[in-house]
A and B are shown apart, each in its own frame.
Chain A
């Protein structure tokens, strides 16, 4: 019945509780540390070699999960690295196929990335952003082709995980990761 269809939209649950102030502080500190370190690496090594970027907007999204919701299955190392790498592979490939048709590119790349991440157990929301950026992000991204998968995806994600392994385990009652 159509009324059931619309009834479903009313919602069925309360929201889970927000974290404590101390946990928010840790999320701030952890993500700040990660962004600064990745940013510094980017500046010193990669820019100076006229090289590959180490930063990308989707990494900011990853930081939300890794430092803001470290218990989430979506924030685990397998998801961060796997999610970005798979999504970038798909995004770059889609660009190779459809070229500069932006709408077509991101409409194909994002859903494909979602499906692929689900199938491989690497669902990571920032991966959708990576797929978008690699498929339709403009010349500054497309010029690197598949190198983009190595950096910023693999390396940027990897450095963030390493920082999270230290920062997230500092409080006694917190742990990271939940699984590899």
Chain B
């Protein structure tokens, strides 16, 4: 794993001196040595975060899931109620079948998956509402993405972040050995883990 170099833009020697003035007493350390030390400590901590933190440490558990036989209308209501943008689709044993999101609902009603709220509002104003009649009773398993990407509980933070970047996804279900959904990791989980919040 690469180490990060602390550039001049991150903090300068004068920042160090200013901080040292703030501590009582004479600090027997040169600002240069402090920067060297800081860089090493920072990279150790970063390595610990990226390699030692596992999916099970950062996931939201239990995850909200939906069955494959639920309808698109029920899906939309669930997304509305929970305020989430997507969720895993699981069978009655909790095993992961796929992932479904707002984009899939938009496609189902004949909209582009990138359409925003204002597109739907505009269409309402123009009295060209989206075609919901054919979509409402379709089962979720027809519109979901399957098979879905997933990670095990042992996946490292580094692997998860790489997966998000490489596949341009916003969430990934965490599955146990038996394929059952045990949790979910979203970009928020990653941010919280990195910022320590």
Contacts and interface: CB of A to CB of B under 8 A. Distances in A.
A69 B32 contact: no
Nearest to A65: B28
A71 B25 CA distance: 7
A174 B26 CA distance: 11
B26 A68 contact: yes
A16 B24 contact: no
Contacts of A20: 24
> Which label, helix, strand, loop or mixed, suits the secondary structure of the A interface?
loop
A18 interface: yes
B30 A15 contact: yes
Contacts of B127: none
B180 to A, nearest CB: 51
Residue of B26, B30, B31, B32 most packed against chain A (CB within 10 A): B26
Interface in A1-53: 12-20, 23
B25 A16 contact: no
B20 interface: yes
A169 interface: no
A71 B30 contact: no
A30 to B, nearest CB: 12
A73 interface: yes
A72 B14 CA distance: 21
A32 B58 CA distance: 57
A20 B20 CA distance: 11
Nearest to B14: A14
A12 B25 contact: no
Given A13-B33, A19-B25, A23-B25, 10 more contacts: A13-B30, A14-B14, A16-B27, A17-B21, A17-B27, A23-B26, A71-B26, A71-B28, A72-B26, A174-B24
Interface of A: 12-20, 23, 68-74, 171, 173-174
Interface of B: 13-14, 17, 20-21, 24-33
17 contacts: A12-B32, A13-B13, A13-B30, A14-B14, A14-B32, A16-B17, A16-B31, A17-B20, A18-B26, A68-B26, A69-B28, A70-B25, A71-B25, A71-B27, A71-B28, A74-B28, A174-B25
Q: Which 6 A-B pairs have the closest CB atoms?
A: A13-B32, A72-B28, A13-B30, A173-B24, A19-B26, A17-B21
